[in-house]
Chain A
Amino acid sequence: MATTLDKVEVVTVGVGWTGGIIAAELAKQGVQVVGLERGKARSTEDFQHIHDEYRYAIRYELMQDLSRETITFRNHRDERALPMRQLGSFLLGEGLGGAGVHWNGQTYRFLPYDLQIKTMTEEKYGKNKLGEDYILQDWGISYEELEPYFYKFEQTAGISGEDNKNSAPRENDYPTPPMKETPITKRFKDAAKNLKLSPYHMPSGNLSENYENPDGQTINQCQYCGFCERFGCEYGAKSSPNVTVIPTAEKTGKFELRTHANVTEVIYEGGKATGVKYIDLQTGEEFIQPADIVVLTSYVMNNVRLLLNSGIGRPYDPESRTGVIGKNYCYQILPGATGFFEEEKFNTYMGAGSLGASVDDYNGDNFDHSNLDFIHGGVIAITQTGKRPINNNTAPNDTPNWGKEFKSQSIKYYHRNLAVGVQGASIPHRNNYLSLDPEYEDIFGYPLLRLTYDYTEQDRNLHNYLTEKSAEIMKEMGASRVEPREISDHYSIVPYQTTHNTGGVIMGGDPETSAVNNYSQMWDVENLFVVGASAFAHNGGYNPTGTVGALAYRAAEGILKYREESGQLVKIVNDRKHA
């Protein structure tokens, strides 16, 4: 029997970037917040032995323990979904700070085009550019409205960067200057300029200098040690919730963190969320934590799964195209090209997670799509993130993946290859969605989340076009041999691609087609906020964290507003074209 605890004002499920931001902003205003985190506590002290590729990048020590819970996956609705038994395609975070501990720090803002993608696409290219199986939707908020929240996140995280004419317009400079120029970033920029493109230094959550944020938290200068993605930072130089918003929340005295607290259900009574049920993983005890306001701040997958397992909201049905929970799951398309340099060696073992250079000339609607068979695009970039030897054995395509030739070629080219890559936008399709699995369960007996996902024609066309552009840049960089990337026949759950999963609890202006309003408040349950990339109506052509941070600051403001006003914070705008 579950023990019912004393009621609190706000409870958050998950304490990563979004849970940390909500906790900090509310606690600073005197609101009592409890943060439930199913993993363990950790901080910079825990990362002093982090330079271990095998433990962290291969065996995934910082990631989710799948023996307790995973997802199931299938490409198509007529297939049987099977469990993702090992991590592969994406790396789910677990523990205090969530994926904000092991991210790279590449921190962009989505474009004005992203937020009004349906309106702007139809205005320019007519109503049927992609066909009716694609579910384009505006986000229910304009870029101008969201701009201050982007800046707020960048200030908290101390983002290092420089403005660019093709990126989203900025009211203020980045809090810190761009990271160092290296022979690799310079080479990319020179090539891009020769091709009449507009390169700029990648906006970075690995900081170019020591920085104190507006909450008084210090982030250190990046040392370019080359251990960033999949690792925590031993130097406190990668912006993470653990060095910013979590200590900010803690120093108010109004925030209580409970680790090893695995939430299994949101309790829903009389049209409202009354609290959450969780299991203490160390004792096995079950608790009910009542709260005035419940905020789901876990990763995309778990935000969706908790709603479905709690019977909250209308589940999406791809057949009738009704319902919203699980709808518009998107991923990211990864075009690119590898260049092999016979005569040169680069210091690719050095680097930082977001050390790089980018161009936005082929992102969003920055280029004309009238004669193209896709919409949107993506940021084309080179990165110098630190190549480690187990995971980097790049050799020309005709090389076997074991044996004598593999060994000599992978050693030869270790410091002699560079890659240009794209974060390609992902456009929702009616058959790509999240639902509950009918067969597989977690260790507590709750259904697993089921992912149904495959590449679309839009994805393939975008991939091919941007791969060609990437190869042009790589050629201009002087590679002796350029190999374009290929997109596989179907999406595979096996090889690592990207941890940029989005959608499932999307925001918008109309409750018929979206789950939350632009404060991340649920249309159906006014005291339940669902925050994170689960709110993305589609995935844009950038790494998502900058936009996640902006939405979280917007949600925090909404929660404070809701405490004063109650009710729905946003007026409904009906847009039934998709119904």
Chain B
Amino acid sequence: MKKVTEKKTSKMSRRRFIKNSSYAAGGAIGGGFLGTVLSKNLFGNNNENQGQKQGATNNESTNYNQALMYFTRQSDFEILSSATERIFPEDDNGPGAVKLGVPFFIDHQLAGSYGRNDREYMRGPFYPASDFQGYQTRLKRHEVFDVGIQAIERESKNQFDTSFVDLEGEQQDQILQKFQDGEVDLKGVTPTTFFELLRSATIEGAYSDPLYGGNNNMEGWMMKEFPGNYMSYINEIDKKDFIKKEPKALRAHIAH
């Protein structure tokens, strides 16, 4: 965790983004009952203030949601954090996976129905699959992450005699690439399956609604200029120029 958290802060803080952006007027809700229902959130703030309130919570006071629900060893969580940061690194566009809260997003997801494959067919027997038949391991996702993270550390020590979290970024990439290319021996699951889970979960954490613990302060959305959750674009859909809007999260939908 040390290495990634000490990197320089995001070039595009939320305040600066707001200052530099010329937002279009908030989207009109097309004359229905929802306008009334949605104009207030839990705290009684109107929608325009909602984003800043969330930002303040996350940046300036303790976010008690950022603790471990699934992982038992902090070292495993740090390996996961370093790996997600290589998949979605901080750059000129803005924060990477760690600042967006992606490792906590993944930890929390692994503790729930995603991690246990609750809504998926997990009955046997299990056989090796062709490339076209999909996920066929008896391991559930949380077990795939356990096996994969341990293998990342093992590969790192074998190849560089160093823990994964202490490697240079390019060395970390070399290790991850071996997983994507299927060049590592894993028990019970293919390295490619593990890598694809890690890759897709990282992107999901970067861009899902902040309610899940990633996309911190909606900064994932801001990088992409995705405005999140608006009820209507009926008065803007035919406009020629690109319209940049202040993002809104689902929090705005909780009625007071």
The answer to the question of A415 belonging to the interface, with a C-beta cut-off of 8 Å to chain B, is yes
Query: Interface 1/0s, chain B 221-235, versus A by CB < 8 A?
Result: 101111111111110
B179-219: which residues lie under 8 A (CB-CB) from chain A?
180, 199, 202-204, 207-209, 211-212
Q: Report the Cα distance A390→B37, complex, angstroms.
A: 28
Q: Is the CB of A48 within 8 A of B212?
A: no
Q: Which of A225, A401, A403, A494 contacts B89 (CB 8 A)?
A: A403
Q: Report the Cα distance A446→B139, complex, angstroms.
A: 24
Q: Is the CB of A53 within 8 A of B89?
A: no
Query: Interface 1/0s, chain B 16-34, versus A by CB < 8 A?
Result: 0000000000000110101
The answer to the question of A88 belonging to the interface, with a C-beta cut-off of 8 Å to chain B, is yes
Q: Is the CB of A51 within 8 A of B238?
A: no
Residues of B within 8 A of A346 (CB): 242
Q: Name which of B39-47, B121-129, B150-158, B160-168 contacts chain A.
A: B121-129
In the complex, how many angstroms separate the beta carbon of B86 from the nearest chain A beta carbon? 7
Residues of A within 8 A of B237 (CB): 180, 182, 224, 347, 350-351, 355, 384
Q: Report the Cα distance A401→B227, complex, angstroms.
A: 24
Q: Report the Cα distance A490→B225, complex, angstroms.
A: 37
The answer to the question of A49 belonging to the interface, with a C-beta cut-off of 8 Å to chain B, is yes
Q: Which of A48, A224, A349 contacts B232 (CB 8 A)?
A: A224
Q: Which of A65, A85, A223, A389 contacts B226 (CB 8 A)?
A: A389
Q: Which of B34, B93, B227, B234 contacts A411 (CB 8 A)?
A: B93
Q: Is the CB of B134 within 8 A of A347?
A: no
Q: Report the Cα distance A390→B209, complex, angstroms.
A: 10
The answer to the question of B133 belonging to the interface, with a C-beta cut-off of 8 Å to chain A, is yes
**Taking CB as reference atom, which chain B residue is nearest A60?**
B119
Q: Is the CB of A234 within 8 A of B231?
A: yes
Q: Is the CB of B32 within 8 A of A349?
A: no
Q: Is the CB of B129 within 8 A of A82?
A: yes
The answer to the question of B118 belonging to the interface, with a C-beta cut-off of 8 Å to chain A, is yes
The answer to the question of B136 belonging to the interface, with a C-beta cut-off of 8 Å to chain A, is yes
Residues of A within 8 A of B117 (CB): 67, 85-86
Q: Report the Cα distance A88→B120, complex, angstroms.
A: 12
Q: Is the CB of A85 within 8 A of B225?
A: no
The answer to the question of B243 belonging to the interface, with a C-beta cut-off of 8 Å to chain A, is yes
A347 with B242, Cβ < 8 A, contacts A66-B119, A67-B121 known:
yes
A402-446: which residues lie under 8 A (CB-CB) from chain B?
402-404, 407-408, 411, 414-415, 439-441
Q: Is the CB of B130 within 8 A of A390?
A: no
The answer to the question of A226 belonging to the interface, with a C-beta cut-off of 8 Å to chain B, is yes
A66 with B226, Cβ < 8 A, contacts A85-B136, A221-B30, A347-B236 known:
no
The answer to the question of B220 belonging to the interface, with a C-beta cut-off of 8 Å to chain A, is yes
**Taking CB as reference atom, which chain A residue is nearest B255?**
A48
Residues of B within 8 A of A181 (CB): 238
Q: Is the CB of B231 within 8 A of A403?
A: no
Q: Report the Cα distance A225→B96, complex, angstroms.
A: 28
**Taking CB as reference atom, which chain B residue is nearest A49?**
B253
The answer to the question of A309 belonging to the interface, with a C-beta cut-off of 8 Å to chain B, is no
The answer to the question of B56 belonging to the interface, with a C-beta cut-off of 8 Å to chain A, is no
Residues of A within 8 A of B253 (CB): 48-49, 51
Q: Report the Cα distance A184→B130, complex, angstroms.
A: 40
Q: Is the CB of A224 within 8 A of B233?
A: yes
Q: Is the CB of B233 within 8 A of A86?
A: no
A388 with B226, Cβ < 8 A, contacts A73-B133, A182-B238, A235-B32 known:
yes
**Taking CB as reference atom, which chain B residue is nearest A179?**
B237
The answer to the question of B71 belonging to the interface, with a C-beta cut-off of 8 Å to chain A, is no
A47-65: which residues lie under 8 A (CB-CB) from chain B?
48-49, 51-54, 58-60, 65
Residues of B within 8 A of A222 (CB): 234
**Taking CB as reference atom, which chain A residue is nearest B30?**
A223
In the complex, how many angstroms separate the beta carbon of A208 from the nearest chain B beta carbon? 10
A53 with B209, Cβ < 8 A, contacts A390-B203, A401-B199 known:
yes
Query: Interface 1/0s, chain A 73-111, versus B by CB < 8 A?
Result: 111000110111110100000000000000000000000
Residues of A within 8 A of B34 (CB): 48, 234-235
Q: Report the Cα distance A82→B131, complex, angstroms.
A: 12
Residues of B within 8 A of A85 (CB): 117, 120-122, 134-136
The answer to the question of B114 belonging to the interface, with a C-beta cut-off of 8 Å to chain A, is yes
A53 with B207, Cβ < 8 A, contacts A66-B121, A75-B130, A220-B32 known:
yes
Q: Is the CB of B231 within 8 A of A67?
A: no
Q: Report the Cα distance A96→B240, complex, angstroms.
A: 39
The answer to the question of A367 belonging to the interface, with a C-beta cut-off of 8 Å to chain B, is no
Residues of A within 8 A of B238 (CB): 180-183
**Taking CB as reference atom, which chain A residue is nearest B201?**
A58
**Taking CB as reference atom, which chain A residue is nearest B97?**
A407
**Taking CB as reference atom, which chain B residue is nearest A355?**
B237
Q: Report the Cα distance A59→B86, complex, angstroms.
A: 24
Residues of B within 8 A of A165 (CB): none
The answer to the question of B250 belonging to the interface, with a C-beta cut-off of 8 Å to chain A, is yes
B33-71: which residues lie under 8 A (CB-CB) from chain A?
34, 37
The answer to the question of A130 belonging to the interface, with a C-beta cut-off of 8 Å to chain B, is no
Q: Report the Cα distance A401→B200, complex, angstroms.
A: 10
**Taking CB as reference atom, which chain A residue is nearest B209?**
A52
Q: Report the Cα distance A60→B233, complex, angstroms.
A: 25
**Taking CB as reference atom, which chain B residue is nearest A89?**
B134
The answer to the question of B239 belonging to the interface, with a C-beta cut-off of 8 Å to chain A, is yes
Q: Is the CB of A70 within 8 A of B121?
A: yes
The answer to the question of A393 belonging to the interface, with a C-beta cut-off of 8 Å to chain B, is yes
A86 with B134, Cβ < 8 A, contacts A235-B34, A350-B233, A411-B93 known:
yes
Residues of A within 8 A of B88 (CB): 402, 407
Q: Report the Cα distance A180→B233, complex, angstroms.
A: 11
Q: Report the Cα distance A440→B133, complex, angstroms.
A: 15
In the complex, how many angstroms separate the beta carbon of A242 from the nearest chain B beta carbon? 17
A176-219: which residues lie under 8 A (CB-CB) from chain B?
180-183
Q: Is the CB of B231 within 8 A of A54?
A: no
Q: Report the Cα distance A572→B136, complex, angstroms.
A: 46
In the complex, how many angstroms separate the beta carbon of B175 from the nearest chain A beta carbon? 13
**Taking CB as reference atom, which chain B residue is nearest A235?**
B32
Q: Is the CB of B87 within 8 A of A349?
A: no
**Taking CB as reference atom, which chain A residue is nearest B227?**
A349
The answer to the question of B6 belonging to the interface, with a C-beta cut-off of 8 Å to chain A, is no
Residues of A within 8 A of B234 (CB): 180, 221-224
Q: Report the Cα distance A49→B250, complex, angstroms.
A: 7
Q: Is the CB of B93 within 8 A of A407?
A: yes
Q: Is the CB of A54 within 8 A of B204?
A: yes
A434-476: which residues lie under 8 A (CB-CB) from chain B?
439-441
Task: A224-B232, A490-B132 given; name 10 further pairs at CB < 8 Å.
Answer: A52-B208, A58-B204, A60-B119, A85-B135, A389-B224, A390-B204, A390-B207, A408-B92, A414-B226, A490-B130
User: Which 7 A-B residue pairs are closest in the complex by CB-CB distance?
Assistant: A54-B208, A223-B232, A350-B233, A389-B207, A345-B242, A51-B229, A492-B132
The chain A residues found within 8 Å of chain B, CB to CB, are 48-49, 51-54, 58-60, 65-67, 69-70, 73-75, 79-80, 82-86, 88, 180-183, 220-226, 234-235, 345-347, 349-351, 355, 384, 388-390, 393, 401-404, 407-408, 411, 414-415, 439-441, 488, 490-494
The chain B residues found within 8 Å of chain A, CB to CB, are 29-30, 32, 34, 37, 86-89, 91-93, 96, 114, 117-123, 125, 127, 129-136, 173, 176, 180, 199, 202-204, 207-209, 211-212, 220-221, 223-234, 236-240, 242-243, 250, 253
User: Can you sample 13 A-B contacts with CB below 8 Å?
Assistant: A48-B34, A49-B250, A58-B204, A83-B121, A234-B231, A349-B226, A389-B226, A402-B88, A402-B180, A403-B87, A408-B92, A490-B132, A492-B132
